[in-house]
Amino acid sequence: MALAIYEAFPSRDTTVGDKPSIDLSYVIMGTRDDTLARSFLAAMTPTVYSNLLRQSLQLKETAPETWECTVRYGATKEPEKGDWKWEFDTTGGNQKITQSKENIHNYAPAGKQAPDFKGAIGVTDDSVEGCEIIVPQFKWTETHQLDAATVTWTYSQTLYDLTGKTNAAAFRGFGIKQVLFHGAKGSQSAKNPDLVEMTFSFAASRDAAGLVVGDINGIAKKAWEYLWVRYGTIEDTYAKKLVKRPTSVHIERVYDSGDFSQLGIGN
């Protein structure tokens, strides 16, 4: 009979608190050799489970060639140089807009013609008030264990200088100027003073082309450039009224670019 291992039931007894632990239960079949069964259990179970280290293996032969086993995990794994993790967030962000994507309908009293504002939202006699909407947004953080010797005062000033800058070269699969660096946080523990845990925060946006605002089309903007609309007072000949309409669209660069390779976490 070939060696086989199965997770038993019940399993995964868990203790939380100052001394967390998890016990995984297994059944091994196919041998009466306790040394072979023990080495097979060690080879077939993870050394780290739910960020806890494997602490002990317990085996008990309960039938011929059948072993009931318990693997205990405890003591949070200490960080090592080069360890990393990342978290992402796609919850949308708020943005105020003054133009709709499409004007669906306009209503007016009987015998009257509603003015056409060409998609302008919240038009008053003096201004265009707009509205708040949810827009797609991709943010993420990366946590890296860096050698304390590299996290110098000079390095911290490099992070400071790169904060609020976009990527001058491709980064994490995004094109040039599509990623905005929000900054970084660092911490160091007496448990492992040779390492500094650094968390880097980023946001990404896409370039846009073929945008239309009112009667103005062919508009293009890069991810983190800022688009704003100027409105003018135009006569609506059908409604016989003076109305606010888009008269020009402006694209502004509001962020500088930086060399993200200086972060020391790769591209």
Residue pLDDT, tens place only, 221-238: 999 999 999 999 999 888
d(CA 208, CA 134): 17
Same domain for 165 and 196, yes or no, is: yes
Is 221 contained in some domain?
A: yes
Same domain for 215 and 126, yes or no, is: yes
Which among 72, 17, 22 is positioned nearest to 50, based on CA atoms? 22
Same domain for 118 and 213, yes or no, is: yes
Is 261 contained in some domain?
A: no
Average pLDDT over residues 240-258: 94
Centroid of chain to Cα 35: 46
Model-level pTM?
Answer: 0.66
pLDDT for position 1:
67
Banded pLDDT at 147 (limits 50, 70, 90) = very high
Is 265 contained in some domain?
A: no
pLDDT for position 111:
85
Report the chain's mean pLDDT, rounded to a whole number.
Answer: 92
Same domain for 124 and 8, yes or no, is: no
Mean pLDDT is lowest, of 71-75, 231-235, 237-241, for: 237-241
Continuous segment of H or E residues that includes residue 126: none
Same domain for 60 and 113, yes or no, is: no
Pairing of strands 21-29, 66-76: antiparallel
Same domain for 36 and 160, yes or no, is: no
Is 259 contained in some domain?
A: no
Same domain for 71 and 22, yes or no, is: yes
Is 10 contained in some domain?
A: yes
Instruction: Give the number of domains in the chain.
Output: 3
Is 257 contained in some domain?
A: no
User: In the listed set 76, 103, 118, which residue is the last one of a domain according to the structure?
Assistant: 76
Pairing of strands 166-167, 257-258: parallel
pLDDT for position 49:
92
Is 191 contained in some domain?
A: yes
**Six token digits for residue 145:** 């264990």
Is 31 contained in some domain?
A: yes
> What single string gives the DSSP state of each residue in 216-244?
EEEEEE-TT-EEEEEEEEEEETTTTEEEE
Choose between 77 and 146: higher pLDDT: 146
User: In the listed set 76, 102, 120, which residue is the last one of a domain according to the structure?
Assistant: 76
d(CA 244, CA 155): 51
Same domain for 192 and 148, yes or no, is: yes
Same domain for 224 and 114, yes or no, is: yes
Same domain for 19 and 62, yes or no, is: yes
* Domain containing residue 143: 84-91+135-205
